[in-house]
């Protein structure tokens, strides 16, 4: 007896002392470990051990597989099939749920549309049943993932009443992947598309990719780089693309391709790619028809035209609308769309780069076909750590417009820095454009609230590669995750999404969640502070966009230098975009113009984006501009140190493998943050001629040292 007691005590101690299971991050947020809270686990077991889930399609089979593997993991018991009346869990389309149908109101069915679902706890035959229903198999798939999320995040299930549907239509990942498997601005290894082995070999990773996307509602994947290689349109590659399309289809993901506008010339041997030329139109029609032979539900094209050296309709004296519409005509009979990028600027145009996209596209409003959607980056320059919202949002009331954000951290520390991007995306989504009166936020415009005729969407430039953990940094997975959640519903908060992600990816322990969520929410501001505080932008090194390079002044194009943007001189610093300067502000609504133009209201965060101010300009804090800038740089680097301490204090909650990975990455992040700080402060000091205020440690090296640093062979320099 005694012995038994001792043995069981020993066993308990042993169990408690056991290290957390090592994890390499491959499972993303779909880990399905047994629910740690024993009473919650037994409640879930009690409710969900018997289920009804009829399967009549590949999509439903995919959903059911996910359910079984998810439940088996979470409740640590394999659930059993049972008839509706004896099931605690019923997952089926509305036509298959028998008498339960009367519980679902017509209005909620109408609300969910073709992609939404209902999750409801109902009472039947004297017990509670969780009903997941939808009009379509896709709704069931999304509903199943949501149910699993509820369990993964430890939610009560006794009185669920969820009616969910996506607020935008096209929720796509843009891969900047090249056929040779390099990834432009990719920092997580090589492209996951193994073109050489496709279509014969379907890497199981493609299925896991599709599962992860479906779990957050992503429904499209642009497979290749916008700096497009024409090979993708050859029969050999189309067969490979078909392989991926077939693998993704059960998960509701359509494939799209980036195309090069000069393909009719380069691939088709025509003399021109003029979009109004009859042969050119025919070439594209034939090509599109050929693609649909391979992939009957092909999504369409993404096009980067007349931008950064890419060919486009303007090469032939035609407008962006004429170019886009020609492709749209070819795709329309198949229900395909054209995503036409507004990321255009030309160094031959003497105007402020920030104004050029608006100048090009505003006059074209209403001229695009119904199946064209103009894809606009969140800000007017290029995915900087902070930019004001793009003036095209709200300026195209008769043109479908989608938001493009960058998940891969080209300007946010690659895959080394912990930067949770949802606050950045939300800053854009929540921005009030005033174009349709007060509260006409970017989010509401994207949701198509002001013109029901328009198609809607969001694109995220993927941060995925062959790294075992997909995104290079364990926390970079959160950016893939939050993109999907925000594209589904732009009104969700960065905090709620971080909460879910942390719980699913690490643990439900509230001490860990509360602490780490705060760090995540602060992380983007930290990086703004040590890279580009107070509205500075585009001061990264020209060399692969890695590290600081505020001194960059000698590039093939002025609009690729740093000095073009910060305009530091003896008098002060910042880009005057008010009426005394480039007047880029005139592209916004009067309310927005005034807000940013007036120094009383312009937030510190955007100050040097819109104003050139004297070094001794008095800031709200009472400090001079110079002192405030220095303060931000130091605060940024210090906040990384703080984050390191916080992480170290959480060791007990995280498995050794991921704990160590993050710890090492944070150490590099700190070094790089200090380098950014010191290089920028020393460089700007050559103009301000003022000392680093007392109390801040002096930089370890002089400016010449930082300027001389070289970093060859940086990642993300894709060869296509
Ligand atoms: O930010 C710039 C990147 C380019 C990219 C371009 C774009 C794909 O440095 O690498 O090209 O944006 O968005 O087209």
Q: What digits encode the pLDDT tens for the residues 692-704?
A: 999 999 999 999 9
Determine the average pLDDT of the residues in 581-603. Answer: 98
Residues 607, 604: Cα–Cα separation, whole Å:
5
Residues labelled catalytic = 308, 382, 410
* Cβ neighbours for 613, distance < 8 A, ≥ 6 positions apart: 572, 573, 574, 607, 625
- Quick check: CB of 175 below 6 Å from ligand 1? no
**What percent of the chain stands above pLDDT 70?**
97
| Angle (deg, nearest 10), helices 510-531 and 625-649 | 150
Q: Which tokens in the block code for residue 354?
A: 């920030």
Whether the CB-CB separation of 334 and 288 falls below 8 Å is answered with yes
Whether the pLDDT of residue 325 is over 80: the answer is: yes
Q: Could you give the CA distance from residue 519 to residue 466 in angstroms, rounded to a whole number?
A: 27
**387: Cβ below 6 Å to ligand 1?**
no
What is the pLDDT, as a whole number, of residue 125? 82
pLDDT of residue 124: 86
Average pLDDT rounded to a whole number, residues 181-209: 98
* Tokens, residue 608: 């040097």
Q: Give the Cα separation of 503 and 153 in Å (integer).
A: 6
Question: Whose alpha carbon is nearest atom 2 of ligand 1?
Answer: 382
Q: Residues 135, 93: contact at Cβ < 8 Å?
A: yes
Q: Average pLDDT of 612-627?
A: 98
Coarse DSSP helix, strand, coil percentages of the chain, rounded to the nearest 5 percent: 45, 10, 45
Distance 181 CA to ligand 1 centre (A): 17
The mean pLDDT of 599-623, rounded to a whole number, is: 98
* Other beta carbons within 10 Å of 548: 26
pLDDT reported for residue 18: 54
Look at the alpha carbons of 499, 502, 16, 667 in this order and tell me if their dihedral is positive or negative: negative
Query: What tens digit of pLDDT does each residue of 534-545 get?
Result: 999 999 999 899
Structure-token match 């066993």, residue found: 11
Distance of alpha carbon 391 from alpha carbon 393, whole angstroms: 5
Q: Mean pLDDT of all residues in the chain?
A: 96
Q: Cα 429–431–433 angle (5° rounding)?
A: 115
**CA 557, 563, 564: angle at the middle one, nearest 5?**
55
Residue 15, pLDDT score: 42
Ligand 1 centroid – CA 297 distance (Å): 28
Distances (CA, A) of 215 to 150, 484, 491: 12, 8, 18
As a whole number, mean pLDDT of residues 452-459 equals 98
The model's confidence at residue 514, banded by pLDDT at 50, 70 and 90, is very high
- Nearest partner of 261 among 338, 191, 199, judged by Cα: 338
Ligand 1 atom closest to Cα of 383? 1
DSSP string, 389-400: PPTTTTT-TTS-
Q: Is 546 in the pocket of ligand 1 (CB under 6 A)?
A: no
Residue 126: predicted pLDDT: 87
- Residues 578 and 535: their CA atoms lie apart, in Å, by 14
What's the 382 CA to ligand 1 centre distance in angstroms?
8
Is residue 526 over pLDDT 50?
yes
CA 119-122-125 angle, to 5 degrees, is 140
Quick one: pLDDT at residue 11? 43
Q: What length is written for the chain? A: 720
pLDDT digit string, tens, across residues 276-310: 999 999 999 999 999 999 999 999 999 999 999 99
Q: Which of 177, 183, 185 to mutate to test the pocket of ligand 1 (most atoms within 8 A of CB)?
A: 185
Q: Residues 17, 10: contact at Cβ < 8 Å?
A: no
Mean pLDDT of the region 371-378: 98
* 36 neighbors 507 (Cβ within 8 angstroms): yes
Ligand 1 centroid vs 498 CA: distance in angstroms?
Answer: 27
The tokens describing 98, both together, are 């028998």
For ligand 1, atom 13: residue with the closest CA: 343
Cα of 403 from ligand 1 centre, angstroms: 15
**Token pair in block for residue 194:** 């193994």
Across the range 130-142, mean pLDDT stands at: 98
**Rounded average pLDDT over 389-416:** 98
User: What is the distance in A from the centroid of ligand 1 to the CA of 516?
Assistant: 32
* Residue ID of nearest Cα to ligand 1 atom 3: 185
Q: 118 with 163: CB under 8 angstroms?
A: yes
Give 359-391 as a DSSP string.
HHHGGGTT-S-TTEEEEEESSSSSS-SS-PPPT
DSSP of 239-260, one letter per residue?
Answer: HHHHHHHHHHGGGT-EEEEE--
- In the predicted model, is pLDDT for residue 14 greater than 80? no
Closest CA to 523 of 669, 380, 382, 404: 669
Structure tokens at 336: 């395909």
pLDDT at 543: 85
- pLDDT reported for residue 20: 81
Q: Report the nearest-CA residue for atom 1 of ligand 1.
A: 382
Distance from residue 307's CA to the centre of ligand 1 (Å): 9
The minimum-distance atom of ligand 1 relative to the CA of 176 is: 8
CA angle 447, 256, 260 (to 5 degrees): 110
Any atom of ligand 1 within 6 Å of the Cβ of 517: no
Mean pLDDT value of segment 643-657:
98
404 lines ligand 1 (CB under 6 A): no
pLDDT surpassing 90 at residue 5: no
Q: Kindly report the pTM of this predicted structure.
A: 0.97
Confidence of residue 12 (pLDDT cuts 50, 70, 90): very low
Report the pLDDT value the prediction gives residue 347, as an integer from 0 to 100.
87
Compute how many other C-beta atoms are within 10 angstroms of the C-beta atom of residue 312: 24
Residue 531: helix, strand or coil by DSSP?
Answer: helix
Contacts of 297 (CB under 8 A, 6+ apart): 245, 249, 254
Contact 636, 528 (CB under 8 A): yes
176 C-beta closer than 6 A to ligand 1 = yes
For ligand 1, pick from 182, 222, 227 the residue to mutate: most ligand atoms within 8 Å of CB: 227
| Residue whose structure tokens are 């995104």 | 471
| CA of 226, closest atom in ligand 1 | 8
**For residue 630, what are its two tokens?**
């220095």
């Amino acid at each position: 007896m005694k012995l038994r007691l001792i043995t069981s005590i020993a066993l308990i101690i042993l169990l408690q002392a056991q290290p957390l299971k090592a994890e390499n991050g491959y499972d993303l947020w779909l880990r399905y470990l047994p629910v740690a809270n024993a009473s919650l686990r037994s409640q879930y077991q009690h409710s969900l051990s018997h289920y009804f889930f009829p399967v009549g399609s590949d999509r439903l089979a995919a959903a059911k597989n996910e359910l079984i593997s998810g439940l088996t993991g979470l409740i640590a018991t394999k659930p059993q099939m049972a008839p509706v009346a004896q099931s605690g869990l019923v997952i089926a389309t509305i036509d298959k749920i028998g008498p339960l149908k009367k519980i679902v109101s017509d209005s909620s069915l109408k609300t969910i549309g073709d992609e939404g679902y209902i999750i409801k706890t109902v009472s039947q035959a004297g017990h509670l049943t969780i009903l997941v229903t939808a009009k379509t198999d896709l709704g069931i798939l999304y509903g199943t993932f949501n149910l699993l999320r509820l369990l993964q995040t430890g939610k009560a299930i006794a009185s669920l009443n969820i009616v969910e549907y996506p607020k935008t239509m096209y929720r796509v990942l843009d891969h900047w992947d090249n056929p040779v498997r390099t990834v432009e601005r990719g920092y997580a290894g090589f492209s996951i598309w193994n073109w050489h082995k496709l279509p014969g070999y379907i890497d199981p990773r493609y299925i896991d990719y599709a599962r992860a996307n479906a779990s957050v509602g992503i429904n499209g994947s642009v497979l290749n780089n916008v700096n497009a290689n024409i090979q993708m349109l050859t029969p050999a590659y189309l067969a490979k693309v078909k392989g991926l399309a077939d693998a993704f289809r059960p998960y509701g993901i359509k494939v799209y391709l980036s195309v090069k506008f000069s393909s009719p010339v380069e691939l088709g041997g025509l003399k021109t790619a003029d979009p109004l030329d009859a042969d050119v139109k025919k070439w594209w029609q034939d090509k599109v028809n050929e693609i649909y032979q391979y992939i009957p539900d092909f999504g369409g094209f993404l096009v980067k035209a007349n931008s950064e050296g890419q060919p486009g309709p303007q090469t032939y004296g035609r407008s962006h609308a004429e170019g886009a519409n020609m492709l749209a005509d070819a795709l329309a009979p198949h229900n395909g769309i054209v995503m036409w990028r507004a990321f255009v600027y030309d160094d031959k145009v003497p105007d402020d780069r920030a104004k050029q996209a608006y100048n090009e596209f505003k006059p074209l409003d209403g001229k695009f076909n119904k199946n064209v959607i103009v894809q606009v980056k969140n800000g007017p320059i290029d995915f900087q750590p902070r930019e004001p919202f793009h003036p095209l949002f709200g300026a195209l009331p008769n043109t479908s417009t989608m938001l493009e954000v960058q998940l891969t951290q080209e300007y946010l520390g690659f895959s080394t820095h912990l930067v949770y991007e949802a606050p950045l995306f939300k800053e854009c989504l929540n921005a009030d454009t005033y174009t349709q009166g007060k509260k006409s936020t970017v989010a509401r415009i994207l949701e198509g609230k002001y013109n029901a005729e328009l198609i809607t969407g969001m694109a995220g430039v993927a941060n995925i590669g062959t790294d075992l953990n997909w995104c290079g940094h364990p926390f970079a997975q959160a950016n893939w995750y939050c993109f999907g959640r925000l594209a589904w519903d732009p009104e969700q908060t960065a905090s709620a999404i971080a909460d879910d992600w942390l719980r699913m990816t690490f643990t439900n322990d509230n001490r860990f969640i509360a602490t780490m969520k705060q760090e995540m929410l602060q992380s983007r501001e930290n990086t703004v502070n040590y890279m580009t505080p107070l509205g500075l932008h585009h001061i990264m090194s020209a060399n692969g966009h890695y590290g600081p390079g505020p001194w960059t002044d000698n590039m093939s194009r002025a609009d690729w230098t740093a000095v073009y943007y910060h305009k530091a001189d003896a008098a002060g610093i910042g880009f005057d975009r008010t009426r005394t300067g480039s007047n880029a502000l005139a592209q916004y609504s009067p309310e927005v113009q005034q807000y940013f133009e007036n120094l009383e209201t312009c937030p510190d965060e955007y100050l040097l984006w819109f104003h050139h101010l004297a070094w001794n300009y008095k800031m709200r804090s009472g400090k001079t501009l110079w002192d405030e800038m220095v303060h931000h740089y130091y605060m940024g680097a210090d906040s990384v140190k703080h984050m390191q301490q916080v992480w170290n204090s959480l060791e007990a909650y995280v498995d050794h493998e991921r704990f160590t990975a993050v710890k090492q990455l944070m150490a590099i992040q700190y070094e790089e943050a200090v380098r950014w700080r010191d290089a920028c402060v020393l460089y700007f000091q050559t103009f301000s001629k003022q000392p680093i205020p007392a109390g801040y440690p002096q930089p370890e090296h002089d400016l010449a040292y930082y300027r001389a640093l070289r970093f060859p062979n940086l990642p993300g320099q894709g060869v296509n």
